[in-house]
Amino acid sequence: MHLLEPRAQPSQLMRWTAPLIAIAATLLVGSVLFWALGKSPLDSFHVFFVEPLTTGYGWSELLIKACPLILIAQGLAIGFKARIYNIGAEGQLIVGALFGGGIGIAYGETGAAWVLPAMVVAGAIGGALWGAIPALLKTRFNAEETLTTLMLTYVASHLLSYMMHGPWRDPEGMNFPQSILFDDAALFGLLVEGFRINSSLWIVIFAVLAFWLFNARSFLAYRLEVGGLAPAAARYAGFPAKQTVWFSLVISGLTAGLAGVGEVAGPVGQLNLNISPGYGFAAIIVAYLGRLHPLGIVLAGTLMALIYLGGEAAQLSLQMPAAITGIFQGMLLFFLLGADAFIDNRLRRRAR
């Protein structure tokens, strides 16, 4: 019989090697999968991971998809370090999109310069509020945040659906559940003509730097880390536990809300039912794949964006089903968690 037993000193080197191992294992199993489907693995990988990056447009699309993933994962990583597991970023993204989008619908036609900044602020507030509900439930009633954040995601998506079928439906939209197309004042400006990448990129770059500084130097980040690593030590030192819960959930809600505005005021350009292809969930994988480190998250978010792009390319060129994206995301997470398990533990034959 074999048992996993904890290692006294888990290797820091392996901690950072694990994502590479997970990527390698994903590629390996992925090629078996392609082969079993009767496709050449090499050609398939070319379509999946190389072709999207052969054009400037492809790189722009990569950034567009990487931005929300990186932004959300930065916020989530703060909580994950403190062992506050917000898995409802998707819902916070939607509420952020609704708050920001609402301003875009109401005031976009004024053409005023304050509209876009107001949308950004409103989106951040919306996401933060949606994150604050589980924080309240946890600090007040000790409700598990993994459940409440996830459940609130469904509430958010029904809220979106209601708004799209009801009050905010485009009167001239032939009854499609979507809002009007936003005016230019309610959209991020394009950075390069002909490409979809827009000025929300600056928000993401600023956020990465801010989170990097926060993690590297701030006392609050240290407190959160202690709370995650040794809750009794945090109590001993007198670090308030409730504050940790509030901060983690509100900050991750805020970044998700910002990402939501980035979508509706960016590539989507309106409110509809498909504003996020699961960015809020994929960002959980991104956060762990990036080892909860702000710069690691940038790399992981870019990879995850490539998987999204590759999945689309595979659907077009290889006639693969849309589920291919989910399969690759799932394999990546699975192998990463597997590798992590062996970093913290080792296999040992049980002595009889």
Which of 78, 307 has the CB closer to other proteins? 78
What's the chain's length in residues?
352
Which of 16, 236 has the CB closer to other proteins? 236
95, 130 contact by CB (below 8 A):
yes
Phi, psi torsion values for 54, nearest 5 degrees: -85, -10
Task: Say if residue 117 is exposed, middle or buried (CB neighbours under 10 Å; 0-12, 13-18, 19+).
Answer: exposed
The reply on whether position 341 binds other proteins by CB under 8 A is no
Whole-number minimum distance, CB 239 to other proteins, in Å?
Answer: 7
The reply on whether position 142 binds other proteins by CB under 8 A is no
Q: Which two tokens stand for residue 184?
A: 């230019």
Which of 7, 158 has the CB closer to other proteins? 7
CA distance 326 to 143: 30
In the set 93, 203, 207, 226, which binds other proteins (CB under 8 A)? 226
Q: For other proteins, which stretch binds (CB under 8 A), given 149-157, 228-236, 270-278, 286-294? A: 228-236
Which of 6, 38 has the CB closer to other proteins? 6
The reply on whether position 7 binds other proteins by CB under 8 A is no
91, 280 contact by CB (below 8 A):
yes
216-224, long-range: CB within 8 Å, 24+ apart, which pairs? 220/247, 221/78, 221/81, 224/78, 224/81, 224/82, 224/248
Whole-number minimum distance, CB 216 to other proteins, in Å?
Answer: 9
Count of alpha carbons within 13 angstroms of residue 273, beta-carbon side: 10
Q: For other proteins, which stretch binds (CB under 8 A), given 157-165, 168-176, 220-228, 256-264? A: 220-228
The reply on whether position 192 binds other proteins by CB under 8 A is no
In the set 1, 2, 9, 174, which binds other proteins (CB under 8 A)? 9
Q: Which two tokens stand for residue 68?
A: 């929300």
264, 271 contact by CB (below 8 A):
yes
The reply on whether position 28 binds other proteins by CB under 8 A is no
Whole-number minimum distance, CB 136 to other proteins, in Å?
Answer: 20
Q: For other proteins, which stretch binds (CB under 8 A), given 73-81, 106-114, 221-229, 250-258? A: 221-229
Phi, psi torsion values for 272, nearest 5 degrees: -150, -175
The reply on whether position 343 binds other proteins by CB under 8 A is no
Whole-number minimum distance, CB 86 to other proteins, in Å?
Answer: 23
> What residues between 230 and 289 interact with other proteins by CB under 8 A?
230, 232-233, 235-240
Q: Spell out the residues 6+ positions from residue 189 whose beta carbon is closer than 8 angstroms to its own.
A: 198, 199
CA distance 352 to 338: 26
The reply on whether position 3 binds other proteins by CB under 8 A is no
The reply on whether position 350 binds other proteins by CB under 8 A is no
Applying CB under 8 A, the site for other proteins has a residue count of 20
Radius of gyration of the chain, Cα coordinates, nearest whole angstrom: 21
Binding track, positions 198-217, relative to other proteins; x by CB under 8 A: -------------------x
76, 283 contact by CB (below 8 A):
yes
127, 260 contact by CB (below 8 A):
yes
In the set 28, 229, 316, 347, which binds other proteins (CB under 8 A)? 229
Give the residues lining the site for other proteins (CB under 8 A). 8-9, 217-220, 222, 225-226, 229-230, 232-233, 235-240, 351
